[in-house]
Chain A
Amino acid sequence: MDLALAPETLARWQFGITTVYHFLFVPLTISLAALTAGLQTAWVRTEKEKYLRATKFWGKLFLINIAMGVVTGIVQEFQFGMNWSDYSRFVGDIFGAPLAFEALIAFFFESTFIGLWIFGWDKLPKKIHLACIWMVSIGTILSAYFILAANSWMQHPVGYKIDKVRGRAELTDFLAVLTQNTALSQVFHTLAAAFLTGGAFMVGISAYHLARKKHIREMKTSLRLGLITVVIAGMLTAVSGDTLGKVMFKQQPMKMAAAEALWDGQKPAPFSIFAYGDVEKGHNTVAIEIPGLLSFLANDNFTSEVPGINDVNKAEQQQFGPGDYRPNIPVAFWGFRWMIGFGMASFALGLAGLWLTRKKFMLPEHLRVGEDEVPHLVLFGKKALGPRTAPWFWRVATWTMAFPLIANSWGWIFTEMGRQPWVVYGVLRTRDAVSPGVSQGEVLTSMIVFTSLYAILAVIEVKLLAKYVKAGPPELTEDDLNPPTKIGGDTRDADKPMAFSY
Chain B
Amino acid sequence: MELHDVWFVLIAVLWTGYFFLEGFDFGVGILTKLLARDRSERRVLINTVGPVWDGNEVWLLTAGGATFAAFPEWYATLFSGFYLPLLVILVCLIVRGVAFEYRAKRPEENWQRNWERAIFWTSLIPAFLWGVAFGNIVRGVKIDRHFEYVGSFWDLLNPYALLGGLVTLTLFTFHGAVFTALKTVGDIRGRARQLALWAGLLAAVLAVAFLLWTQADSGDGKSLVALIVAAVALVGALVANQLGREGWAFSLSGLTIVAAVAMLFLSLFPNVMPSTLDGNWSLTVSNASSSPYTLKIMTWLAVIATPLVVLYQGWTYWVFRKRIGTQHIAEPAH
Question: A67 to B97, Cβ gap below 8 A?
Answer: yes
On whether the beta carbons of B94 and A81 are closer than 8 Å, the reply is no
Q: What residues of B have a CB within 8 angstroms of the CB of A91 in the complex?
A: 72
A105 (CB) vs chain B CBs: closest residue: B305
Residues of B within 8 A of A88 (CB): 68, 72, 75-76, 79
Q: How far is the CA of A97 from the CA of B298 in the complex (A)?
A: 7
Closest residue on chain B to residue A97 by CB atoms: B69
C-alpha gap A77/B57 in the complex (Å)? 13
Stretch of B129-137, B209-217, B231-239, B311-319 on the interface side: B311-319
With contacts A83-B80, A497-B329 taken as known, whether A174 is within 8 angstroms of B43 at the C-beta atoms is no
CB of B330 within 8 A of chain A? yes
Q: Which residue in B54, B104, B290 is a CB contact (below 8 Å) of A93?
A: B290
Complex: chain B residue closest to A99, CB-CB: B65
Instruction: Identify the interface centre among A70, A93, A108, A498: most chain B CB within 10 Å of its CB.
Output: A108
Residues of A within 8 A of B148 (CB): 85, 436-437
What's the nearest-Cβ distance from chain B to residue A274, in Å?
41
Using a CB–CB cutoff of 8 Å, the interface residues on chain A facing chain B are 63-64, 67-68, 70-72, 74-75, 77-78, 80-83, 85-86, 88-89, 91-97, 99-105, 107-108, 111-112, 114-116, 118-120, 123-124, 163, 168, 170-172, 174, 435-438, 442, 445-446, 449, 453, 457, 460, 464, 467-468, 474, 487-489, 495-498, 501-502
User: Is the Cβ of A464 less than 8 Å from the Cβ of B102?
Assistant: yes
With A101-B301, A111-B54, A115-B316 as contacts: A445 and B84 at CB distance below 8 Å: yes
Contacts of A124 in B (CB 8 A): 319
**Given A123-B320, A170-B294, A501-B43: A103 in contact with B62 (beta carbons within 8 A):** yes
A92-B68, A171-B294 given; A85·B52 CB < 8 A: no
The 6 A-B pairs of least Cβ separation, nearest first, read A92-B72, A81-B79, A96-B69, A497-B330, A96-B68, A85-B80
A479 to chain B, nearest CB (A): 10
Question: In the complex, how many angstroms separate the beta carbon of A427 from the nearest chain B beta carbon?
Answer: 15
Q: How far is the CB of B163 from chain A (nearest CB, A)?
A: 25
- Which of B72, B84, B86 has most A Cβ within 10 Å? B72
Kindly list chain B residues whose C-beta atoms are within 8 Å of the C-beta of A442.
83-84
Find out whether the CB atom of A119 lies under 8 angstroms from the CB atom of B80: no
Pair B290/A92 contact, Cβ less than 8 Å: yes
Instruction: Specify which of A70, A78, A99, A437 is in contact with B90 (CB 8 Å cutoff).
Output: A78
Can you list 10 contacts pairing A with B, beta carbon distance less than 8 Å? A77-B61, A88-B76, A94-B294, A95-B68, A96-B65, A108-B62, A108-B312, A171-B294, A488-B320, A489-B322
Of all chain B residues, the one with the shortest Cβ separation from A171 is B294
Q: Which of B67, B83, B319 contacts A82 (CB 8 A)?
A: B83
**A457, B298: Cα distance in complex, Å:** 36
Interface residues of B in 291-334 (CB under 8 A from A): 291, 293-294, 297-298, 301-302, 305-306, 309, 312-313, 316, 318-322, 324-325, 327-330, 332-333
Nearest residue (CB) in B for A495 is B327
Q: Mark B79-101, 1 if CB is under 8 A from A, else 0.
A: 11101101100110111011011
CB–CB B83/A446 < 8 A: yes
A115 B69 Cβ-Cβ under 8 A: no
Contact A104 to B305, CB < 8 A, known contacts A92-B290, A115-B316, A498-B330: yes
A157 to chain B, nearest CB (A): 15
Whether the pair B329, A498 counts as a contact (CB closer than 8 A) is: yes
Query: In the complex, what distance in Å separates the CA atom of A496 from the CA atom of B78?
Result: 48
Residues of A within 8 A of B117 (CB): none
Minimum CB–CB distance from A317 to chain B (whole Å) comes to 29
CA–CA, A141 and B14, complex, Å: 24
12 additional contacts (CB under 8 A) given A92-B68, A170-B290? A70-B54, A71-B97, A74-B60, A81-B75, A89-B72, A97-B69, A103-B65, A108-B58, A112-B312, A445-B84, A501-B47, A501-B329
- Would you give the shortest CB distance from B86 to chain A, in whole angstroms? 6
**In the complex, chain B residues whose CB is within 8 Å of the CB of A474:** 333
- Once the chains are docked, how many angstroms separate the CA of A336 from the CA of B84? 36
**8 A Cβ contacts from B245-303 to A:** 290-291, 293-294, 297-298, 301-302
Cα-based distance from A111 to B297 in the complex (angstroms) = 24
Decide: B290 and A96 in contact? CB cutoff 8 A.
yes
A74, closest chain B residue (CB): B93
B121 lies within 8 A of chain A by Cβ = no
Supposing A74-B90, A115-B50 touch, asked if A89 and B76 sit within 8 A by C-beta, the answer is yes
Whether, in the assembled complex, B106 has its beta carbon less than 8 Å from a beta carbon of chain A, the answer is yes
Q: Which residues of A contact B53 (CB under 8 A)?
A: 115
Knowing A81-B75, A94-B294, A100-B69, say if A502 contacts B319 (CB, 8 Å).
no
Whether, in the assembled complex, B103 has its beta carbon less than 8 Å from a beta carbon of chain A, the answer is yes
Known: A104-B66, A112-B312, A112-B313. A502 touches B55 (CB 8 A): no
**From residue A116, how far is it (CB to closest CB) to chain B in Å?**
6
CB-CB < 8 A to A68: which residues of B?
98
CB distance from B319 to the nearest CB of A (A): 5
B106 touches A467 (CB 8 A): yes
Q: Which of B126-148 contact A (CB under 8 A)?
A: 146-148
List the B residue with the shortest CB-CB distance to A468.
Answer: B105
Q: A64 and B102 in contact (CB under 8 A), knowing A70-B97, A88-B76, A103-B64? A: yes
Is there an interface contact between B313 and A108, defined as CB atoms closer than 8 Å?
yes
With A64-B102, A123-B320, A435-B80 as contacts: A72 and B94 at CB distance below 8 Å: yes
Q: How far is the CB of B10 from chain A (nearest CB, A)?
A: 10
CB-nearest residue of chain A to B105: A464
| Complex alpha-carbon distance, A170 and B66, angstroms | 16
Question: B70 on the interface (CB 8 Å rule)?
Answer: yes
Q: Please, which residues of chain B bring their CB within 8 A of the CB of A77?
A: 61, 64-65
**Quick one: which of B43, B65, B293, B316 contacts A502, CB cutoff 8 A?**
B43
A75: contacting residue among B94, B302, B327, B333, CB under 8 A: B94
With beta carbons under 8 angstroms apart, the residue of A67, A96, A171 that contacts B75 is: A96
Bound-state Cα–Cα, A194 to B99, Å: 26
B46 at the A interface (CB under 8 A): yes
In Å, the complex CA distance between A102 and B68 comes to 12
Query: Once the chains bind, are A502 and B68 in contact (CB under 8 Å)?
Result: no
A75 CA to B61 CA, complexed, in Å: 10
Q: Which residue of chain B is the closest to A94 with respect to CB atoms?
A: B294
Which residues does chain B contribute within 8 Å of A101, judged by CB atoms?
301
A445 to chain B, nearest CB (A): 7
Q: Which residues of chain A have C-beta atoms less than 8 A from B293's C-beta?
A: 170-172, 174
In the complex, the answer to whether A115 meets B75 with C-beta atoms within 8 Å is: no
Q: How far is the CB of A291 from chain B (nearest CB, A)?
A: 48
Nearest Cβ on chain B to A298's Cβ, whole angstroms: 35
